[in-house]
Chain A
Amino acid sequence: MKHLLSTEDLSLANAIRILDTAEEMAAVGDREVKKLPALRGRTVVNLFFEDSTRTRISFEAAAKRLSADVINFAAKGSSVSKGESLKDTAQTLSAMGADAVVIRHWASGAPHRLAATDWIDAAVINAGDGTHEHPTQALLDAFTMRRHWSRLAGTGSEGTDLKGMRVAIAGDVLHSRVARSNVWLLRTLGADVTLVAPPTLLPIGVEKWPCKVSYNMDETLAQGVDAVMMLRVQGERMNASFFPSTREYSRRWGFDDNRLRALDTLGMKDTIIMHPGPMNRGLEISAAAADSPRSTVLAQVRNGVSVRMAALYLLLSGDTREPAATPALAYAGAHSTKESN
């Protein structure tokens, strides 16, 4: 791995390696001194073309816990017409000696361009690009799910995948990089994914994705789910006729109090509720659901730092070899591996 650009092309072996490394990083976070010397003298640039305080501070904390030097570069609104081009920015960072560039960009594919051109030689980590991908978000979601899933199986999580786990991802799939990255990664890890959304918020071509698609939240819940991931929905979408009103959206596709109760009624005591944040309470998720014991929202934030430490460590520690196609498993739990696809 030279870059981390997408989960679509992330192999099972590499995915497991990142998740396992993140477990080790998480252990560091439990120590009194939360710092490793691994990346001392290395420079990580957070290149953010779009506001995202949460993702930026998560990467910043991750890099600092590995003793890297961190430069935050907020380059909002960069474009040929408005200012410096991506090419010039990249070459500037290259000249400053950046070892890794963590890039958040409003344009789909911008991290791929950075990685594909000779503008910069650094490792590129995609921290969310347009409506394309957000691989570290999917990895931290998978990390959170894997801990839950292996705990239910009574095993450790290291080396395990998500085979058999039923995951519903609900909301604005069309505009969601989180949904895309999760669909690919969960496919690789063996989970069964169902997308739940109004037809207007699903992309044309979704039928070719490795998942099921449903227009009905209640049916999806009734069929049984182990994790429900709610996606952020922008209320302004109703102005472009994606749905008639925020109230109707909430009733049909939101995770409201009735659906929270339904999980109990249906006997799904172990089902978790996830959200990548920031949440629109009262729109896609009710306050009771967000604050319930089922909610993993804060665990996801905590795990985000561990997963990003793992990504930075693996990309910068010099070991860029592909691991063996089938990783040696530390635990042969109930959720065993599947062949790499």
Chain B
Amino acid sequence: MAATTGTYLIRGASILGGEPADLLVRGGVIAETGTGLQAEGATVIDAAGLVALPGMVDVHTHLREPGREDAETVETGTRAAALGGYTAVHAMANSTPVADTAGVVEQVFSLGRAAGWVDVRPVGAVTVGLAGEQLAELGAMADSRARVRMFSDDGICVHDPLLMRRALEYVKAFDGVVAQHAQEPRLTAGAQMNEGEVSAVLGLAGWPAVAEESIIARDVLLAQHVGSRLHVCHVSTAGSVEIIRWAKGRGINVTAEVTPHHLLLTDDLVRSYDSVFKVNPPLRTDADVQALRAGLADGTIDVVGTDHAPHPSEHKECEWAQAAMGMTGLETALSVVQHTMIETGLMTWADFARVTSTAAARIGRLADQGRPLEAGEPANVILVDPAARWTVDPFRMATMGRNSPFKGRKLPGKVVATFFKGHPTVLNGELNTPYAFTDATAAGVA
């Protein structure tokens, strides 16, 4: 069925950081696991010292296409994803036009199939044009070829409480989830950075933690009231972690994500006025960073989402207040999570697999992703060299965005290979070839 996938014998990889074993990849699936496997004609990959993990699933990616192809395209963004160890990404809806119809989500879906680097799962807008006034045709997007399950106005908060309630209720009809960008708009008018000691000195308008926490508190209560599934995007404050922990304790069906940059960086970096550090929600304090790490480790926060947000250089080489918000993240996520969570002893590689793959696939309802590394499972697998050290150079990345806040930092961990549906999209740490979807041309994508 998939003509391009060959046979690969991965020898001696540490499975989820545990005991070494061999993985035989054939016909798009993991055909066999064990030790001392043999396979006629297989390409042998010596994986001694490497960790085998399920392909990563990003619940939060901005691919910018359609509309801002000067910032990123589905092709360049998914190349970056494959290099970063991803086999699936959720493409956020704030494109131009907005992904608020079946037509646009099918276009993005088709572009993803044509590119063939990862599964591209479009996220549908909650409201028409992200305007927060009227529900988009959520059912049509769910029923489309893109089979949308996650809906979000990300970038903008669904702040009208009644509209949020209705959205939460409505998506139950097709097992959907509303992913909320929690930001009370009146409390953040003109906001430029975290409100606190640093903003006071820098004279930049503050983005208070309460603007995030008050929306999350409201939304978990709404989700409880209507019995719906809520996902909270890019949680950034210690208070948010507490509220979500409380909500989960009450049995409310809420999941949450944290970005790699919020696990490492603080608002002290804004003292440089270098807008590469401008992001929404903003970088917070060290106390918040520590609370986010603890929340991710104890399961309060379910997943790591990159919020990969590439911007052309002219949108960053300017005054702080003029600069666009956002950072790239697909090609650094694994390293930052290894640095902040694994090398600190807070998590194991098995935990890593949970927060970057298994739980993310469950939130997005991706049946073929985030699966165990066992015989018969889809071969979405990555091999990671945890001993590697590298210095981040945005100009050597596959993404078109040069706005990496980790520029110049030395980070651990490197993706050596990415298998997507049994096909190596990345080999020896470099892009190989995309997977050839059999329907890619039939999808009508030029």
Contact = CB atoms under 8 A, between A and B. Distances in A.
B203 A131 contact: yes
A107 B202 contact: no
8 contacts: A85-B317, A108-B192, A108-B202, A110-B273, A203-B200, A203-B206, A208-B197, A209-B200
Nearest to A82: B322
A248 to B, nearest CB: 23
Contact of B204 (A86, A106, A109, A208): A109
Given A116-B272, A204-B195, A204-B208, A109 B201 contact: no
Contacts of B214: none
Interface string B198-234: 1111111110100000000000000000000000000
Most chain A C-beta atoms within 10 Å of own C-beta, residue among B203, B272, B320: B203
Interface of A: 8, 79-80, 85-87, 105-110, 112-113, 116-117, 129-133, 177, 180, 203-206, 208-209
Contact of A105 (B197, B201, B319): B319
Interface in B301-324: 314-315, 317-322
B196 A205 contact: yes
A109 B317 contact: no
Contacts, number: 82
Contact of A113 (B200, B201, B273, B315): B273
Contact of A80 (B206, B272, B314): B314
Contacts of A132: 202-204
Given A109-B273, A112-B273, A116-B274, A204 B318 contact: no
A307 B287 CA distance: 42
Contact of B200 (A85, A116, A130, A205): A205
A199 to B, nearest CB: 14
> Lowest 9 CB-CB distances: which A-B pairs, in order?
A109-B273, A205-B200, A132-B203, A131-B203, A107-B319, A203-B200, A205-B197, A108-B203, A107-B321
A87 B275 CA distance: 13
Contacts of B205: 131
A154 B274 CA distance: 47
Given A79-B318, A87-B317, A108 B197 contact: no
Nearest to A175: B203
A303 B314 CA distance: 40
A299 to B, nearest CB: 27
B199 A204 contact: yes
A108 B204 contact: yes
Interface in B165-201: 192, 195-201
Given A80-B318, A86-B318, A113-B320, 6 more contacts: A80-B315, A80-B322, A86-B319, A108-B203, A109-B273, A131-B205
A203 B208 CA distance: 12
Contacts of A117: 317
A85 B319 CA distance: 9
A206 to B, nearest CB: 6
Contacts of A180: 201, 203
Interface residues of B, number: 25
B199 A205 contact: yes
Contact of A130 (B197, B315, B317, B321): B321
Nearest to B193: A108
Contact of A205 (B201, B272, B273, B320): B201
Contact of A133 (B203, B318, B321): B203
A194 B321 CA distance: 30
A85 B206 contact: no
Contacts of B196: 204-205
A112 B206 CA distance: 19
Contacts of B201: 8, 180, 205
A204 B206 contact: yes
Residue of B198, B199, B314, B319 with most chain A CB atoms under a 10 A cut-off: B319
A87 B318 contact: yes
Nearest to A129: B203
Contact of A85 (B272, B318, B321): B318
Contacts of B321: 106-108, 130
A204 B209 CA distance: 12
Contacts of B200: 203-206, 208-209
A85 B196 CA distance: 29
B383 to A, nearest CB: 40
Given A206-B200, A208-B197, A79 B322 contact: yes
Contacts of A105: 319
A180 B199 CA distance: 12
B416 to A, nearest CB: 36
A8 B322 CA distance: 24
Contacts of A107: 319-322
Nearest to B189: A240
A205 B195 CA distance: 8
Contact of B320 (A108, A177, A203): A108
Given A80-B322, A112-B273, A113-B273, A205 B198 contact: yes
A329 to B, nearest CB: 30
Contacts of A113: 273-274, 318-320
A131 B320 CA distance: 13
A203 B198 CA distance: 10
Contacts of A208: 197, 200
Contacts of A108: 192, 202-204, 273, 320-321
B289 to A, nearest CB: 18
A106 B195 CA distance: 19
A69 to B, nearest CB: 27
B398 to A, nearest CB: 26
Nearest to A179: B203
Contacts of A209: 200
Contact of A116 (B203, B206, B208, B273): B273
Which of B192, B196, B202, B320 counts the most A-chain CB atoms under 10 A from its CB?
B202
A116 B277 CA distance: 15
A86 B197 CA distance: 28
Contacts of A133: 203
Contacts of A106: 321
Given A116-B273, A130-B203, A109 B318 contact: no
Nearest to A206: B200
Given A116-B273, A116-B274, A204-B206, A109 B199 contact: no
Residue among A109, A130, A177, A204 with most chain B CB within 10 A? A109
A106 B321 CA distance: 9
